[in-house]
Structure 1
Amino acid sequence: MEAVVASAPGKVLLTGGYLILERPNAGLVLSTNSRFFAIVKPLYHQLKPDSWAWGWTDVKLTSPQLSRESLYKLSLKNLSLEYVSSSDSKNPFVEQAVQYCVAAARATVDKNKKDSLEKLLLQGLDITILGSNDFYSYRNQIEARGLPLTPDALAALPPFASITFNAEESNGENCKPEVAKTGLGSSAAMTTAVVAALLHYLRVVDLSSVIEDHQHEKYTADLDLVHVIAQTAHCIAQGKVGSGFDVSSAVYGSQRYVRFSPEVLSSAQVAVKGTPLQEVVLEILKGTWDHERTKFSLPPLMTLLLGEPGTGGSSTPSMVGAVKKWQKADPQKSLETWRKLSEANSALETQLSTLRKLAEQHWDEYEGLIKSCSILKSEKWIQQAAKPNQEAIIKALLGPRDAMLRIRYHMHQMGEAAGVPIEPESQTSLLDATMNMEGVLLAGVPGAGGFDAVFAVTLGDSGSNVANSWSSFNVLALLVREDPHGVSLESADPRTKEITSSISSVHIE
């Protein structure tokens, strides 16, 4: 059996922070070119003659960027994972992914393929995980080397570089060092990549045609299976049922997303109490997954830019907790704020799809205007319009700016009321300055807000100027761009492709 390599993208939630937790609010989520890779191959090529009688098989998990290796025994009877040895830390996301994937394979396999599945399991599972550098913060290394905070300095790092830990708190509260992240949804991308690689390896799904055929029924069914298992493993590992937009975009790519009803996972949450995992998986697969997703991506000639302000990330769960508490304490005010936020989110979405339509209908004028506006501040854009079509395009460019300002205003209000820094003062002045730069359509804090990252959507080639201006604000522009593709099967270990990709990544759009 050859090694199977699958990858899944990180995400940026443009709109829908907090609201996306409750149906029927939608969020716009962009998948990115930063990807998590999972490599699955057999641990043993030769099976011992007595292997048919084994009750356990071996699982090895390697994370080269953290210099970690963990060994497990997987019970072939009840599919529990027992820890054998490791260099310290567990990875609940991968552990749940392994258990749920094997359970799904057992639950869905044809009678005539049972033997080959059992043989694959007896050969053991050798799993390696690798995340693109963009998922992690390398500010400290760049600063330590005395290099400027520019994308070029990031591009010069070796691919899949070693990951640093945040400094421990001096008061000893933070005993376990936390990995410094950029907020691209590494746990969802990692879980999805592992689930996709394992399900393909165990022949539960066939992802080999993923690239060619996005509309094919069978293809959709296979992806849906990856989605359900990845959502389940991710929620169980997190210990709570989140909105799931990060896993959905890791599977399907950029989209407009409305969450699934959390009840669909109640059997999995109870399963922790001892229902056989295969039964649980069958129930979850039969459940009503009522999430909604529709295609969405940025209009043409626009670039997503992400910046890391260097304050080291915020804890999303605690911020969500504070907002929920405020909703309970002040239902009337919070409903009003959510209604206004929801309206502003819809307005932004409508304006962006109008821009996409205008680009299709009047390409030459659209292209020309994007080019001329990319070197001007937004207040000068309107002067570029001489004809009715051009005026419509400029209006559709100014509309999203207005919607984004309203979104930021209400998010800020919500943060003030809930007592959490959704758009902290330092971010406000940075975002205002960014929205005032030439060629910037929008700027905001993605997702739940906080200090994690800032994003900008820029016109034409203005991105590199924005990146340069950011470094004077002590913000490191990342190499992340939008890439609408979801999970995919890779032809090789990404480390063998390093040489070519590091050369191409130095060129910054």
Structure 2
Amino acid sequence: MEVVVSAPGKVLITGGYLILERPNAGLVLSTTARFYAIVRPLYNEIKPESWAWAWTDVKVTSPQLSRECTYKLSLKNSTLQCTSSRDFTNPFVEQAIQYAITASKVILVDESKKDKLQRLLLQGLDITILGANDFYSYRNQIEAHGLPLTTDALASLPPFSLITFNSEAPNGVATGEKCKPEVAKTGLGSSAAMTASVVAALLHYLGVVSLPLSEKSLGHGNAANSDLDLVHIIAQSAHCIAQGKIGSGFDISAAVYGSQQYVRFSPAVLSSAQVTGEKHLLDVVTDILQAKWDHDKSHFSLPPLMTLLLGEPGTGGSSTPSMVGSVKQWQKSDPQKSQETWKRIASANSMLEEQLKNLSKLAADYWDAYSHIISSCSRHAHGMWMQLVNDQYQEFVVKSLIGARNAFLEIRLHMREMGKAAGVPIEPESQTRLLDATMNLEGVLLAGVPGAGGFDAVFAIILGDASDSVGKTWSSHGVLPLLVKEDPRGVSLESGDPRVKLVSTAVSGLRLG
């Protein structure tokens, strides 16, 4: 028996900083970048003496880092003890395993189900984790080979390529000892997607939930709501404990449910998990499952004929926790000004969401007019769009397009003001110049910095087939256009090991070592 589950990465297009506080909403898009968890039994047979065992074996393999970690899992407490080097253990995977197995024990109370769970655990767990190339930066390898910063160069990489890590000591002097991998990422939420995929794969493997096959999974509502809600609760809890703080949770929610409008849960629902040193994990998970999870999610995805593009500027990463801390400090020091700024951003966020939803409705009601004017606008800069209108329905579409642009420009303006007041580069000047140039290209609706902002990434939402001009412009500015697009699906059951399918269809040839 083998179970393969995938969960998507995310892009937060509105709600940066505001989403940390209820009831502010954010728009988050799930993506084609997916993290995979493969769960299979470690042993084919259970030994006769297993009835007396207090521990079973767990192995976690990360082929992209060439790492393997082994553990003993307590059959009584569901806690892990590492039996290999702890240098390369992953706290997100460890917490995902412990919380998923504990939740299984809480939920599977029927004797026959408990026996089946025990037999599966006694066979041991062999877990493999794989992240799509889109989660990681291969910019250095591309530049080292003298290749242009293009999607073609990225596409030439083998699927699930080895991830480069620093093999030198912090002072730059090589040592004989291996050091912790320093992995360059693209900001798509790899830890959240990984946590969600491991939790979902284990819960499905152990018979607690039934997930939809990826071929049939088209977004919200494909598995039983209770199944997805359970995956969400356990993944959210494990992720928060692993990262040592209770974040907004939008990345886990997107990994489980897909693209959505999201309002965070009250941090109090995880109060039990924060005192794990004083309580048994079984009691903690029981409390978490019984808590009133008050997060809010509603379906949202880009209107038809619109595409999400992402770019990697390569100007050095930004520390999101540090930036969040500075913004919170500014809120305390100037509550009146900060409240006014947040209200303006929240209002512009709502306006953008309203215009995008209106465009989806216009597409459904007046498809011919919608598709025609989107195609026309994709070949012209925004200043020309109104001149392309031929009837009232096309005019409705263009007015909503312009309304969305204006709302987003308002968001960017106030986010820059907030960054300046808080002393953090939410939209650095170099990004501003790039984003302004991008928004003036043919067929570009929006261009911004996702999430908390900074230097990590840029995104654009384009109309029709305008991606070529954006890719060329970004490349000319030293920005590597990524392959990732929006995919509104959440967590999904896969039909087999993704390496078999993807490697067989990948572009062969160049390998960047």
TM-score of the two chains, using structure 1 as the length reference: 0.95
Report the residue type matching 2:6 in the other structure: S
Q: Is 1:116 the counterpart of 2:121 in the alignment? A: no
Matching residue of 1:267: 272
CA distance in 2, matches of 1:101, 1:289: 18
In the alignment, residue 93 of structure 2 is paired with which amino acid? V
Cα distance in 1 for partners of 2:318, 2:235 equals: 24
> What is the match of residue 129 of structure 1?
129
Please give the residue correspondences for 1:369-380 in structure 2 after superposition, counting only pairs within 5 Å: 369-380=373-384
| Structure 1: distance between partners of 2:137 and 2:96 | 25
Which range moved further: 251-260 or 73-82? Answer: 73-82
Deviation at 1:308, TM superposition (A): 0.4
Aligned-pair CA distance for 1:86: 3.1
In structure 2, the partner of 1:419 is 423
Secondary structure of 1:153's counterpart equals: helix
Show the 5 A alignment for 1:30-429.
Answer: 30-86=29-85, 88-109=87-108, 110-165=110-165, 176-208=180-212, 211=216, 219-271=224-276, 273-429=277-433
For the Cα contact (< 8 Å) 1:180–1:312, is it kept in 2? no
CA deviations on 1:39-69 (whole Å, 9 max, x unpaired) are 0111111222111111111111100101111
**Separation (CA, whole Å) in 2 of partners of 1:355 and 1:300:** 8
SS of alignment partner, residue 88 of structure 1: helix
For 1:364 and 1:355, locate their aligned partners in 2 and report how far apart those are by CA, in whole Å.
Answer: 13
Paired with 1:217 and 1:39, the residues of 2 have a C-alpha distance of: 21
1-side partners of 2:9 and 2:218: how far apart? Answer: 22
Alignment gaps of 5+ in structure 1: none
Q: State the number of aligned residues.
A: 502
Q: Aligned-pair distance for 1:502? A: 2.2
78-87 vs 2-11, which deviates more? 78-87
Q: 3-state DSSP class of the match of 1:486?
A: coil
- Change over 3 Å in CA distance of 1:166–1:330 after alignment to 2: farther
2:229 aligned counterpart, secondary structure: helix
Deviations 1:184-212 (A, max 9, x none): 00000000000000001111111146736
SS at match of 1:163: coil
Superposed CA deviations along residues 406-451 of structure 1, whole A, max 9, x for unmatched, are 1111111111111111111111110011001111000000001011
Aligned counterparts of 1:217 and 1:426: Cα–Cα separation in 2: 42
330 and 396 in structure 1: CA distance in 2 versus 1, 3 angstrom threshold: same
CA contact (8 A) 2:218 2:488 kept: no
User: Distance in 2 between the 1:292 and 1:230 partners?
Assistant: 16
Q: Distance between the aligned counterparts of 1:359 and 1:168, measured in 2? A: 54
Shift of the alpha carbon at 1:465? 1.7
The question of whether the paired residues in 1 share the 8 Å contact of 2:14 and 2:26 is answered with: yes
Listed one character per residue, the Cα deviations across residues 94-140 of structure 1 (whole Å, up to 9, x for unaligned) are 00001001101111112221111111111111110000000000000
Q: Distance in 1 between matches of 2:253 and 2:315?
A: 28
Amino acid at match of 2:145: R
Amino acid at match of 1:381: W
Comparing 328-337 and 161-170, the one that deviates more = 161-170
1:473 aligns with 2:469: no
Per the alignment, do residues 494 and 212 of structure 1 end up closer, same or farther by CA in structure 2, a change over 3 Å counting? closer
Residue 421 of structure 1 aligns with an amino acid whose one-letter code is P
Write the letter of the residue equivalent to 1:155. Answer: A
2:176 is aligned to none
Q: Partners in 2 of 1:486 and 1:372 — Cα distance?
A: 32
CA distance in 1, matches of 2:292, 2:443: 44
> Which has the larger displacement, 109-118 or 246-255?
109-118
The equivalent of 1:489 in structure 2 is: 493
Task: Provide the rounded CA distance (Å) in 2 between the counterparts of 1:15 and 1:464.
Answer: 25
Could you tell me which amino acid in structure 1 is paired with residue 50 of structure 2?
A: S
Kindly state the Cα deviation for residue 217 of structure 1 after the two structures are TM-superposed.
9.5
The CA distance in 1 between the partners of 2:72 and 2:458, in whole Å, is 42
Q: CA deviation at 1:177?
A: 4.7
8 Å contact kept, 1:214–1:220 = no
CA–CA distance in structure 1, aligned partners of residues 219 and 427 of structure 2: 37
Q: Distance in 2 between matches of 1:216 and 1:224?
A: 11
* Residues 358 and 216 (structure 1), Cα distance of their counterparts in 2 relative to 1, 3 Å cut: closer
Measured after TM superposition, the shift of residue 281 of structure 1 is: 1.1
More deviation, 48-57/245-254: 48-57
**More divergent stretch after superposition (309-318 vs 364-373):** 309-318
Question: Structure 1 residues 169, 309: CA separation in 2 closer, same or farther (over 3 Å shift)?
Answer: farther
Letter in 2 for 1:418: A
Q: Unaligned regions of 5+ residues in structure 2, if any?
A: 174-178
Q: Which stretch shows the higher mean deviation, 487-496 or 310-319?
A: 310-319
Check conservation: 2:210, 2:223, Cα contact below 8 A: no
Amino acid at match of 1:236: I
- How far did 1:388 drift? 2.0
- Are the equivalent residues in 1 in contact too, given 2:261–2:298 (CA < 8 A)? yes
How has the CA–CA distance of structure 1 residues 112 and 167 changed in structure 2, closer, same or farther, with 3 Å as cutoff? closer
The match for 2:21 is: 22
- RMSD (Å) for aligned C-alpha atoms: 1.9
Aligned position for 1:455? 459
The question of whether the paired residues in 2 share the 8 Å contact of 1:372 and 1:384 is answered with yes
Distance across 2 between alignment mates of 1:467 and 1:461: 11
Code of the residue aligned with 2:455 in structure 1: it is F
**CA separation of 1:322/1:215 partners in 2, compared to 1, >3 Å: closer, same or farther?**
closer
Letter in 2 for 1:4: V
Question: Which residue of the partner structure matches residue 8 of structure 1?
Answer: 7
